[in-house]
Amino acid sequence: MVNFNLRLPDDLHAAIKAAAAHDGRSAHGQMLWYLRRAVESSGKPNHPGGDPAPPVPLRENGPRP
Protein backbone atom coordinates (compact mmCIF):
# COMPACT_ATOMS: atom_id res chain seq x y z
CA MET A 1 0.00 0.00 0.00
CA VAL A 2 1.29 3.45 -0.92
CA ASN A 3 1.48 6.10 1.78
CA PHE A 4 1.00 9.77 0.82
CA ASN A 5 -0.26 13.02 2.30
CA LEU A 6 -3.46 14.64 1.10
CA ARG A 7 -4.53 18.16 2.05
CA LEU A 8 -8.29 18.62 2.30
CA PRO A 9 -10.40 21.72 2.90
CA ASP A 10 -11.89 21.69 6.40
CA ASP A 11 -15.46 21.40 5.14
CA LEU A 12 -14.64 18.39 2.93
CA HIS A 13 -12.82 16.67 5.79
CA ALA A 14 -15.80 17.26 8.09
CA ALA A 15 -18.19 15.84 5.47
CA ILE A 16 -16.01 12.74 5.03
CA LYS A 17 -15.81 12.21 8.79
CA ALA A 18 -19.59 12.56 9.14
CA ALA A 19 -20.22 10.11 6.28
CA ALA A 20 -17.69 7.69 7.76
CA ALA A 21 -19.37 7.80 11.17
CA HIS A 22 -22.75 7.21 9.54
CA ASP A 23 -21.43 4.28 7.48
CA GLY A 24 -19.41 2.73 10.32
CA ARG A 25 -16.03 3.36 8.70
CA SER A 26 -12.92 5.31 9.59
CA ALA A 27 -12.30 8.52 7.65
CA HIS A 28 -9.47 6.70 5.86
CA GLY A 29 -11.78 3.82 4.94
CA GLN A 30 -14.43 6.25 3.72
CA MET A 31 -11.93 8.01 1.44
CA LEU A 32 -10.78 4.67 0.03
CA TRP A 33 -14.40 3.70 -0.58
CA TYR A 34 -15.08 7.01 -2.39
CA LEU A 35 -11.91 6.71 -4.49
CA ARG A 36 -12.59 3.10 -5.46
CA ARG A 37 -16.14 3.95 -6.55
CA ALA A 38 -14.89 6.92 -8.58
CA VAL A 39 -12.20 4.87 -10.32
CA GLU A 40 -14.57 1.98 -11.06
CA SER A 41 -17.28 4.24 -12.48
CA SER A 42 -14.89 6.41 -14.51
CA GLY A 43 -14.19 3.60 -16.95
CA LYS A 44 -17.85 3.13 -17.82
CA PRO A 45 -19.24 5.77 -20.21
CA ASN A 46 -22.81 6.88 -19.54
CA HIS A 47 -22.75 5.09 -16.20
CA PRO A 48 -25.82 6.09 -14.17
CA GLY A 49 -24.77 8.14 -11.20
CA GLY A 50 -21.54 9.18 -12.86
CA ASP A 51 -20.52 12.81 -12.60
CA PRO A 52 -20.75 14.52 -16.02
CA ALA A 53 -19.30 17.76 -14.64
CA PRO A 54 -15.78 18.80 -15.68
CA PRO A 55 -13.07 18.44 -13.04
CA VAL A 56 -12.50 21.29 -10.61
CA PRO A 57 -9.39 23.40 -11.36
CA LEU A 58 -6.39 22.56 -9.19
CA ARG A 59 -6.02 26.17 -8.05
CA GLU A 60 -8.87 28.22 -6.64
CA ASN A 61 -7.67 31.27 -8.58
CA GLY A 62 -7.18 29.38 -11.83
CA PRO A 63 -3.95 28.34 -13.52
CA ARG A 64 -0.91 30.57 -13.44
CA PRO A 65 -0.17 32.52 -16.63
* pLDDT per residue rounded down to tens, the chain (65 residues): 889 899 999 999 999 999 999 999 999 999 999 999 998 888 765 555 555 666 656 555 545 54
Q: Say what the pLDDT of residue 24 is.
A: 95
User: If DSSP codes are grouped into helix, strand and coil, which group holds residue 39?
Assistant: helix
Give the model's pLDDT for residue 42: 81
- pLDDT given for residue 17 in this prediction: 96
User: 51 and 59 in contact (C-beta within 8 Å)?
Assistant: no
pLDDT computed for residue 45 by the predictor? 59
- Long-range contacts, stretch 12-21, CB < 8 angstroms, 24+ apart: none
Going from N- to C-terminal start, the domains of the chain cover: 10-42
Q: Report how far apart the first and last C-alpha atoms of the chain are (Å, whole number).
A: 37
Whether 17 and 29 have beta carbons less than 8 Å apart is answered as no
| Model confidence, pTM | 0.61
Instruction: Identify residue 35 by its one-letter amino acid code.
Output: L
